[in-house]
Amino acid sequence: MQLMKASWIEVEKYLQTSKAIVIPIGSVEQHGPNGLLGTDALCPEIIAHRAAEQADILVGPTFNVGCAQHHLGFAGTITLRPSTMIAAIQDWTTSLRRHGFERIYWLNGHGGNIPTINAAFSEVYAELSFANTPPVPGLQLKLQNWWQLAGVSELCNEIYPVGHGMHATASEVAVTYAGCPDAQKQVEMMPKIAPLGEISHAYAYRQSFPDGRIGSDPSQACVEDGQRIIEFAAKALIEEFSSFSAR
Amino acid sequence: MQLMKASWIEVEKYLQTSKAIVIPIGSVEQHGPNGLLGTDALCPEIIAHRAAEQADILVGPTFNVGCAQHHLGFAGTITLRPSTMIAAIQDWTTSLRRHGFERIYWLNGHGGNIPTINAAFSEVYAELSFANTPPVPGLQLKLQNWWQLAGVSELCNEIYPVGHGMHATASEVAVTYAGCPDAQKQVEMMPKIAPLGEISHAYAYRQSFPDGRIGSDPSQACVEDGQRIIEFAAKALIEEFSSFSAR
Amino acid sequence: MQLMKASWIEVEKYLQTSKAIVIPIGSVEQHGPNGLLGTDALCPEIIAHRAAEQADILVGPTFNVGCAQHHLGFAGTITLRPSTMIAAIQDWTTSLRRHGFERIYWLNGHGGNIPTINAAFSEVYAELSFANTPPVPGLQLKLQNWWQLAGVSELCNEIYPVGHGMHATASEVAVTYAGCPDAQKQVEMMPKIAPLGEISHAYAYRQSFPDGRIGSDPSQACVEDGQRIIEFAAKALIEEFSSFSAR
Amino acid sequence: MQLMKASWIEVEKYLQTSKAIVIPIGSVEQHGPNGLLGTDALCPEIIAHRAAEQADILVGPTFNVGCAQHHLGFAGTITLRPSTMIAAIQDWTTSLRRHGFERIYWLNGHGGNIPTINAAFSEVYAELSFANTPPVPGLQLKLQNWWQLAGVSELCNEIYPVGHGMHATASEVAVTYAGCPDAQKQVEMMPKIAPLGEISHAYAYRQSFPDGRIGSDPSQACVEDGQRIIEFAAKALIEEFSSFSAR
Amino acid sequence: MQLMKASWIEVEKYLQTSKAIVIPIGSVEQHGPNGLLGTDALCPEIIAHRAAEQADILVGPTFNVGCAQHHLGFAGTITLRPSTMIAAIQDWTTSLRRHGFERIYWLNGHGGNIPTINAAFSEVYAELSFANTPPVPGLQLKLQNWWQLAGVSELCNEIYPVGHGMHATASEVAVTYAGCPDAQKQVEMMPKIAPLGEISHAYAYRQSFPDGRIGSDPSQACVEDGQRIIEFAAKALIEEFSSFSAR
Amino acid sequence: MQLMKASWIEVEKYLQTSKAIVIPIGSVEQHGPNGLLGTDALCPEIIAHRAAEQADILVGPTFNVGCAQHHLGFAGTITLRPSTMIAAIQDWTTSLRRHGFERIYWLNGHGGNIPTINAAFSEVYAELSFANTPPVPGLQLKLQNWWQLAGVSELCNEIYPVGHGMHATASEVAVTYAGCPDAQKQVEMMPKIAPLGEISHAYAYRQSFPDGRIGSDPSQACVEDGQRIIEFAAKALIEEFSSFSAR
Ligand code: NI
Ligand code: NI
Ligand code: NI
Ligand code: NI
Ligand code: NI
Ligand code: NI
């Protein structure tokens, strides 16, 4: 069930059998010459929505803008400061707890979000830990990157043995092409495989990575690959979320 | 063009002819027994995306969670604190300015967001106003509620002369039904038309409005009405945005 | 009773019969060539103090500096950032609740404060709404602009059928002249009636409105008009506050 | 000249000969059985306004609510958190610098404000100190307590050799009585002279100081004493401000 | 006992007999040509650790970086903004209260910290004072500067009758030389005794005090003097802390 | 060179040949029955100071209190909220940049700090990335955990093939024993090797890990092991820092 398309009565009913929810969380940032700016939000959203078609999983709204300061040298990128993102994750979590949710599973699509999401978890937990009595009920927050769901990165490397890369990867572009076939873009990559390097601020990033990609050749991406990855990842998510819910 | 499905190169090209962008902004909150939790985010998103199909308008990602503290008594509602929302709108705006956007048009779907969006505008402007030299280039921020686009509220009242209401309105539910036909819900309203009253915190709200609606009978909503409103509103948006861009 | 001139014992006694208080809230900003920088703080203060002479109303200190970033192009203007103002309104409210006040009536003198005051209300309410149990006792926050008290704007338009205006209005200048007759200033207005336009940051404001006024001819203002408006508004305030207190 | 009663044009003219301004800063807090809640804001305001009648001094609006958390056990007290007060002082200072003010003289009426005002000065200066180039023009912030103006505390001790005290002092009550004769209150003090002790949070404060006073017998206060102190302090302020302006 | 070298079990045991702790708090800032950047953190740390060797006192970690914006013109200085320092002191205090500490004694080494530490105390107390019920258990926060421990400043003035000074004082340099003999530096002072003056931002500071010192001749400092001061101050601390603990 | 024991003149001289600095960063938190509360701050400090004895490396003050909310169930633990830690790291970094430092190497001793340090880096970089012109000079921030210096974890596993563990590890306790031999504690571990598990808030942590350890038997720790690790790690640090400085 997608929370955005559910009524409050339907969510209230869901809470009678489960206290767990999935929140897709991503970023709006350049993804090279043929990748979508929304890639990192779309990937976890597509996978989570696919999972929700096949199992009784509640998927919340997508937290779409994340930590992307290093991509600001490329048009269309939008970022939160980490301190803003922490405040927002706190508010989302406090809201969900108010309804009785005890387990929040953040399915992440952007490596650059990982530190700040974990810092936000600590900020939320700190409030509980400072208190003089244990939280009733408890709270469990989990971060999982979609590409680290069981077996997914193996599958991606199998599909793209060469040029899978680190940013604007072939696999993430494929997932978005499968989710939004009308958004496919044919662009020749030059060089074929993008350079590797280190990430700091946006000016340094653009110098190191002139077209935005890191180590990838996303021109390999196609709808069929994307569908295969989505199906695989959705199944892995169902399994992992089910054990998280039951913990 | 939808920014989320565009590449940075496409956005860079768009900026050569326009410095203006539309950002749909909404809320995730209960919308009565048959309305979607995502209604207020979906309505401006649906209308903006429809407009972008017919005109050269860039639509950014949807700012989906807003100010909904008063709805927290109903499962599924998620809110930001206003201070968090201000910080996030600042970050979105600063990011967009970095790329050269000078006119940001926030198409809003939630009455409860209006004060905080305007406060955020002042926060952003204050930084420019404190500076010792005029901002180069300038910046214009505009808030428009989709139901206040030229002629739209007249149309809604014409379609629903009775029971249009103030929250979980017949028209907004219709728009989401047109946008997401599979999310339609058949629920009998009791009473037929919901009560009116004042809004403060969530506990008082739930007492005043037991099923979440204010003054409305959204069981009248249907896909056809929604389509009519969407088409009308999208055209009004194109016109208004075009004159905003040119100003 | 004016809180600033009362002892704590007198306020404690007042609380035995009423849990309601009026807080005048304004701004320090240019008001054209003959208007006072303190106009927006003085108007609600003068009206509230006049009401307190005639009825058992407690009037708190004046929240004098508000949201005036757009006026910073004119000497003497002082502004808070909206985020600062929200924090301050929270602190005032929390302090008053600590003593048992349950209804706080903010009598506002500045249009530019409206969004931020309402955002502050949401910030305060959000804390109550996030909590797992209803607030005991409850809290009601009300914002009223003095010019929207019952019948006041009609009276102002009757007195100034031409050139009442939008900023540095004839009526607000008259109210301050009645309250501070020694502060009257004779200035010829050029043009007689100031232009209309849109508001954004301070640099754009000064270009659009070279002497600060918007749409007004405040040279019409005089002590007698001001007295008439004050008397009328004070009576309206007494009535409205009385029903607010009893709600 | 009082900024609140001046026009922007008058302030602009003032700035041609002086870059200095006085800001009265106080608190709204209990002042014992016969003292006014507004005492600490009224005292510097009365003295500064008196000085401005006799010399070319610009007096800004009164920063009326300060740091009074320890007095919250007594009805009517209002406090800012120090972090809020720092933000507000920053905003006032930034606004004034925008107009060209370079020397801001905070005339303080409340001992409990001293740390936070000085912390706010450091917060403001830190921004200048972090910058890679010296501030142009410079900025000087000065805090002076009215009772520490040259000769004032000697005068107060001379007038009240016994029971002047530490909080709700005879002298500050006298100053407010002289400024607001209609607010005088006849209350017998029991004990005649209040106890001494240490200050922490509001619950401890009320236990140590049951009627709010510390070490004082303010029933000695009268209008004549107050007038004498005001005249003396206003002259001292004129002198000190004049040398601050010229520095 | 030093908390940093204790186990949690040892601290738990300590709490059975005392709820009080000493926190050395200092600054990292220039201390003239022969003084250490860490002087203000080292002095209270050295004295507290010496006291803990002779009495059953728990000494927490040193809060080493404080408010030093005015020294930023000299290499190596590190400062917190006061707002950051307040947040940090809140967190330290909340953490210690969680374990049962009720009395926290901050032994300070830097005059520039005094306002912000006291503001932080108010911030912490405000939370308790806003609450509807008294804090259980209570909380007492105390700030003491090491040079104001009973008899210490007299001793310092006796040892250095000339050129003790205000910053980079002979005594503080002596204390650090005694604590870190290998860090002694032989530098000829020019002029012998540094000038006096006022402190604002870093650019003004460096102009007024070209080598960083204020009013001092720290070339007098030696290990023996430092040892004498340390022994004396440690004894005074033991006495004062013991009465603070018992209060 | 240790910055804390250097004069500003010595740091100024250092800056003529290097723009890089090491900052040890740790935590104050329980480390099981025989580990020191200061372990995570002491380890990087000891290693960095040892390195500075052998090479021309400037070591700044130790950032001693970090993110330890999960350990608050054990006496003596002190934590910052992540938002506070981000603000503090910003201030340290801004201060160091002011002097000309361009490369800051944070040598970390606590796994729980990693997300927040990286989030702080993004917060700092975001300011540079939002700006309209590239930062001059540039800035590079690097996080390294001492146990991930080249070869160190291999050495630790070689020394402690069984019961090295995840928290309160044998190796970190050994390093502190070598650095502070007088702080060694003889405690029998029960069970010999602590359990493994997941980390969330402090109440859950204490339930899962009753004496604080995770997966370790730190009773194996001894001074000799610690010395070996320190020597090895210091050499690795020298090498890595040297290449970071030169980059
Ligand atoms: Ni990506
Ligand atoms: Ni709605
Ligand atoms: Ni006005
Ligand atoms: Ni007072
Ligand atoms: Ni010092
Ligand atoms: Ni550790």
Give yes or no for D133 touching F (CB within 8 A). Answer: no
Q: Are strands D103-108 and D20-25 parallel, antiparallel or unpaired?
A: parallel
**CATH number for position C239:** 3.40.50.10310
Residue of C114, C201, C203 to mutate for B, most B C-beta atoms under 10 A: C201
pLDDT at F74 over 90: yes
> F30 with E6: CB under 8 angstroms?
no
Mean of pLDDT values over E39-50? 98
**What per-residue confidence (pLDDT) applies to A243?**
96
Burial of C239 (0-12, 13-18, 19+ CB in 10 A): middle
User: What is the side-by-side order of every strand in the sheet holding A20-25?
Assistant: A20-25, A103-108, A140-145
Which residue of chain C is at minimal alpha-carbon distance from E128? C98
pLDDT averaged over every residue in chain E: 98
pLDDT at D109: 98
Query: How many other CB atoms sit within 10 Å of the CB of residue E158?
Result: 10
Q: Rounded to whole angstroms, how far apart are CA atoms F65 and C29?
A: 45
**What's the residue count for chain F?**
247
Q: How far is the CA of B26 from the centre of ligand 1 (A)?
A: 25
Q: In the prediction, which pLDDT does C247 show?
A: 72
Give the per-residue pLDDT at F238: 98
pLDDT-above-70 percentage for chain A? 100
Confirm or reject contact between A94 and chain C (CB < 8 A): yes
CB contact under 8 A, C36 and D91: no
Q: Is D132 an interface residue toward F (CB < 8 Å)?
A: yes
Q: Any chain E CB within 8 A of the CB of A132? A: yes
* pLDDT, average across residues B131-157: 97
Structure confidence by residue, pLDDT tens digits, F162-207: 999 999 999 999 999 999 999 999 999 999 999 999 999 999 999 9
CB A45 within 8 A of CB A172: no
How close is the nearest chain B Cα to the Cα of D163, in Å?
47
Task: Report the pLDDT value the prediction gives residue A193, as an integer from 0 to 100.
Answer: 97
Asked if A1 contacts A59 with a C-beta cutoff of 8 angstroms, the reply is yes
Task: Assess E98–A contact: CB distance below 8 Å, yes or no.
Answer: yes
Distance from CA of C137 to the nearest CA of E (A): 11
Environment class of residue A52 by beta-carbon count within 10 Å: exposed (0-12), middle (13-18) or buried (19+)?
buried
Q: What is the 3-state secondary structure (H, E, C) of chain E?
A: CEHHHCCHHHHHHHCCCCCEEEEEECCECCCCCCCCCCHHHHHHHHHHHHHHHHCCCCECCCECCCCCHHHCCCCCCECCCHHHHHHHHHHHHHHHHHHCCCEEEEEECCHHHHHHHHHHHHHHHHHHHHCCCCCCCCCEEEEEEHHHCCCHHHHHHHHCCCCCCCECCHHHHHHHHHHCHHHCCCCCCCCCCCCCCCCCCHHHHHHHCCCCCECCCHHHCCHHHHHHHHHHHHHHHHHHHHHHHHC
Residues of E in contact with D134 (CB under 8 A): 203
| Residues in chain B, overall count | 247
Q: Which residues of D touch B128 (CB under 8 A)?
A: none
Sorted by sequence, the CB contacts under 8 Å of residue A147 that are 6+ apart come out as A153, A156, A171, A172
For the segment A72-108, what is each residue's pLDDT rounded down to a tens digit? 999 999 999 999 999 999 999 999 999 999 999 999 9
Instruction: State the pLDDT at residue F219.
Output: 98
H or E, element range at D113 = none
**F48 Cβ contact partners less than 8 Å away, ≥ 6 residues apart:** F22, F24, F57, F59, F107, F234, F237
Q: List C-alpha distances in Å: F233 to C112, F23, F31.
A: 60, 15, 21
Short-list A27, A102, A109, A35, CA closest to A68: A27
**pLDDT greater than 90 at residue F140:** yes
pLDDT in tens, C62-105: 999 999 999 999 999 999 999 999 999 999 999 999 999 999 99
Does B183 lie at the interface with C, CB-CB under 8 angstroms?
no
Per-block average pLDDT, block size 10, for chain D (247 residues)? 98 98 98 98 98 98 98 98 98 98 98 98 98 95 98 98 98 98 97 97 98 98 98 98 92
Give the environment of ion ligand 1: residues with CB less than 5 A.
A 39-40, 172
Nearest CB neighbour to B129, from listed C82, C120, C202: C202
pLDDT digits (tens, 9 = 90+) for C167-211: 999 999 999 999 999 999 999 999 999 999 999 999 999 999 999
In this predicted structure, the answer to whether residue F220 has a pLDDT above a threshold of 90 is yes
Tokens 């939004």, residue located:
A180
Listed as ranges, residues in chain A with pLDDT below 50 are: none
Look at B132 and D95 and tell me if their CB atoms are within 8 Å.
no
Local confidence band at E247 (pLDDT 50, 70, 90 cut-offs) = confident
For residues C164 and F30, give the distance between their C-alpha atoms in angstroms, rounded to a whole number: 69
Residue E61 has what pLDDT?
Answer: 98
Tens of pLDDT, residue by residue over A117-138, are: 999 999 999 999 999 999 998 9
CB of D1 within 8 Å of a chain C CB? The answer is no
Shortest alpha-carbon distance between residue D219 and chain F (Å): 47
Contacts E90 to F, Cβ<8 Å: 84
Measured in angstroms, how far is the CA atom of residue E167 from the centroid of ligand 5? 6
If you search the block for the tokens 């680290």, which residue do you land on? A148
Q: Which residues pair with E20 in a beta bridge?
A: E103
By Cβ distance, the residue of C35, C96, C182 closest to D78 is C96
Does residue F247 register a pLDDT over 80?
no
Half-sphere exposure of F59 (CA within 13 A, CB side): 25
Whole-number pLDDT of residue C66: 98
Ligand that comes closest to the CA of residue C28: 3
d(CA D121, CA E200): 8
Please count the structural domains in chain C. Answer: 1
Alpha-carbon distance C200 to nearest alpha carbon in chain D (angstroms)? 17
* Partner residue opposite E84 with nearest CB, options F41, F87, F212: F87
**Domain span at E90:** 3-245
- Ligand 1 mean position to A231 CA, how many Å? 19
- Say what the pLDDT of residue F111 is: 98
The 8-class DSSP code of residue B63 comes to: B
The Cα–Cα gap between D157 and D152 comes to 9
**If we measure between CA atoms, which residue out of A195, F98, F209 comes closest to residue E69?**
F98
Residue with tokens 């002259």: D235
Q: CA A89 to CA F227: how far, in whole Å?
A: 43
Mean residue pLDDT across chain B: 98
- Asked if the ipTM is above 0.95, the reply is yes
- pLDDT for the residue numbered D233: 98
pTM (whole model) above 0.95: yes
User: What's the CA-to-centroid distance between E49 and ligand 6, angstroms?
Assistant: 23
Residue B130 has pLDDT above 80, yes or no: yes
Cβ contacts from A onto F, under 8 A: 121
Question: Does F94 contact D130 at a Cβ distance shorter than 8 Å?
Answer: yes
Beta-carbon separation of E126 and D200 below 8 A? no
**Residue-level pLDDT at B66:** 98
The 10s digit of each residue's pLDDT in F76-123 is 999 999 999 999 999 999 999 999 999 999 999 999 999 999 999 999
Choose the mutation target among A64, A95, A127 for the interface with B, i.e. most B CBs under 10 Å.
Answer: A95
pLDDT at B247 over 80: no
